[in-house]
Structure 1
């Protein structure tokens, strides 16, 4: 690598050429303002040495907008369309107005901290602020990987702490009580019955095709899900490889499917659930009716998603293996099931403790009885 020194007015400037690490184009690096030629030469040697070590800043001006566009381009095709839609919404609504035109090298941890505080003052939830912070952190992680910056400014800034909500579930009796009323009140009764029977997610329930159901083999193939893209609901593939699964059907569930297909106006040739006008069913309809019935019956309100936990707790109460439950739910690992449903297992631990205490107590009674006999003799 060769460089040169030249005099410009009353000062000296150095310059040398390198290959841009991003574009691979030939690029000139130069710096002037040195009073002496020796100072310019010394600075050039140091700059060349930094370039060889890979520590010389070659990024120039690179805005947050440019970086986020590069990040989104990489995400495209690697995440679900609904996830891309969520990323774009958060970027456009909250992140871009704050950072769009800033050079990424100028964004420091204090900027991130102040941004979190601003969102907090605007009344946004801790969950949303945390989500926004995760996106910004991922964008800057890409910049570090490309060596555009050397440290992620989000890394050491604390996001709002999330209060972990304890997941709720019903007992088998409460589930039965709800289903009895839902059968009379809701044209989508089968959706609730299906969820309680299989632990399927609401998107999986509303994305179910008749072709996914093998009545002869008594099996449901969960491979479609209802998801939102660019503000509209569409039917797409399930979220992960483990979510693509087969779930056996009971005779009662088969009967309900057959009845629904014969008599319901809220179905179609392709989808098990549609509106009377042939449109996709908005999940809000199921959630609203569920809340209404809960209020009427004075049942503790649970979300539709908590039906999965109810399904799980009932099976665990009946002694079904967590591994089997995990496969039904479409979890990639049984540990996910165990972590999500911690309090169910806490209850089982209490039962185990009581049982062990009863067993050992019987032994203590025998010992005490023998001691009393020895004393009497």
Structure 2
């Protein structure tokens, strides 16, 4: 019995000289055009099933590329259409760097459908050799996210990156300053113009961008509260303001040790504004240059390192003061949930697993209880 002819738009099937069956269907493309897509099958039924799937996608308006896009085509498109409009500029800059430096040079010629786990493993090995295992782990994350978007668009049927484990990275041992070292730093920084900024970093655990993006309207010295709403960052082109890392504002009570430095900062800034006159830009920032401009984040970090080195302190990052703040709060008996809210974490696991460190004195004090609990009976 002859098979019925398919209606217009449903494609056609025929048998090839090699015995396989071939079907061709016009399908919509991601750019809005229509092109012919070819599928194959060992039997007529298998080929017809693939043909019907193409017709179904066409009727539902789902694009089906006639050929698989190369990673050199998909990754830039994904950055511009998926990441840039919906993620923070810092995230976009980080993803773009990994795409430009590692993913495109190592995988750009590969097509989405033909990408294999072996390709991904070789890419990770190449990034590890060029940079580090930590960088390779980040590249793994970026590629996995990009291919997950391709799966949602039904450009590929599976994400092969999920089948390849990310490189194992040895966590960097963090040793924030002890209480005595923190006090030494604050004493050494007392004469520096950025001393109030360092007090906020040490006492409140504020991030660098949060400190430099702080506005006077968010500081209430009478009620001793401070609201963290905006952050200041720099990308390749300019300084810009953004929301906080978790996109939520938070109110932090100000300890007394922060009030006097902030009052001094306001008076000092007022004197500079009066001296600058009309050249002072319209700004409500707490921390500015002598000309009223926002402070470059790198300059705050450079001043921090300079003061710490002059005081003979161990070298730590400015961000490590957040670790020190959390550890001091825990040592003082502050509840973990409260520490989480002060530091602005979205999950308490981050606070407990990463931002708390136990110093030798604290461990020694804890173990001294064993002498009392396990002393010999009389």
Q: TM-score over 0.5 for the alignment?
A: yes
Following TM superposition, by how much is the alpha carbon of 1:176 offset from its aligned partner in structure 2, in angstroms? 1.3
Q: Is the CA contact 2:29–2:35 (under 8 Å) kept in the aligned structure 1?
A: no
> Which deviates the most, 341-350 or 253-262?
341-350
Following TM superposition, by how much is the alpha carbon of 1:281 offset from its aligned partner in structure 2, in angstroms? 1.4
C-alpha distance in structure 1 between counterparts of 2:121 and 2:16, whole Å = 43
Q: 1:211 — aligned with what?
A: 217
1:132 and 2:145 are equivalent in the alignment: no
Q: 1:274 — aligned with what?
A: 288
C-alpha distance in structure 2 between counterparts of 1:107 and 1:120, whole Å = 20
Following TM superposition, by how much is the alpha carbon of 1:118 offset from its aligned partner in structure 2, in angstroms? 2.4
Give secondary structure in 1 for the equivalent of 2:345: coil
Q: 1:258 — aligned with what?
A: 263
The correspondence for 1:145, drawn from 144, 152, 158, is 152
Give secondary structure in 2 for the equivalent of 1:225: strand
C-alpha distance in structure 2 between counterparts of 1:294 and 1:76, whole Å = 38
Q: Is the CA contact 1:5–1:12 (under 8 Å) kept in the aligned structure 2?
A: no
Q: Which has the larger Rg?
A: 1
User: Cα deviations across residues 2-40 of structure 1 (Å, max 9, x unaligned)?
Assistant: 5545799999985454654857876644569xxxxxxx9
C-alpha distance in structure 2 between counterparts of 1:331 and 1:9, whole Å = 64
Query: Can you give the 5+ residue segments of structure 2 that lack an aligned partner in the other structure?
Result: 1-5, 58-62, 274-279
The correspondence for 1:190, drawn from 187, 196, 209, is 196
Following TM superposition, by how much is the alpha carbon of 1:205 offset from its aligned partner in structure 2, in angstroms? 0.5
C-alpha distance in structure 2 between counterparts of 1:12 and 1:160, whole Å = 42
Query: Can you give the 5+ residue segments of structure 1 that lack an aligned partner in the other structure?
Result: 33-39, 370-377
Does the C-alpha gap of structure 1 residues 45 and 353 become closer, same or farther in structure 2, counting only changes over 3 Å?
same
Q: Is the CA contact 2:336–2:348 (under 8 Å) kept in the aligned structure 1?
A: yes
Give secondary structure in 2 for the equivalent of 1:271: coil
Q: Is the CA contact 1:19–1:26 (under 8 Å) kept in the aligned structure 2?
A: yes
In the superposition, the TM-score normalised over structure 1's length comes to 0.81
> Which deviates the most, 44-53 or 172-181?
44-53
1:102 and 2:107 are equivalent in the alignment: no
Q: 2:3 — aligned with what?
A: none
Q: 1:76 — aligned with what?
A: 84
Does the C-alpha gap of structure 1 residues 238 and 341 become closer, same or farther in structure 2, counting only changes over 3 Å?
closer
Does the C-alpha gap of structure 1 residues 132 and 347 become closer, same or farther in structure 2, counting only changes over 3 Å?
farther
Q: 1:248 — aligned with what?
A: 253
C-alpha distance in structure 1 between counterparts of 2:84 and 2:288, whole Å = 30
Give secondary structure in 2 for the equivalent of 1:105: coil
Aligned pairs, number = 353
> Which deviates the most, 186-195 or 110-119?
110-119
Does the C-alpha gap of structure 1 residues 47 and 351 become closer, same or farther in structure 2, counting only changes over 3 Å?
farther
User: Cα deviations across residues 106-146 of structure 1 (Å, max 9, x unaligned)?
Assistant: 22222222222223333x12222221221112111222233
RMSD of equivalent CA atoms: 3.4
Does the C-alpha gap of structure 1 residues 18 and 309 become closer, same or farther in structure 2, counting only changes over 3 Å?
same
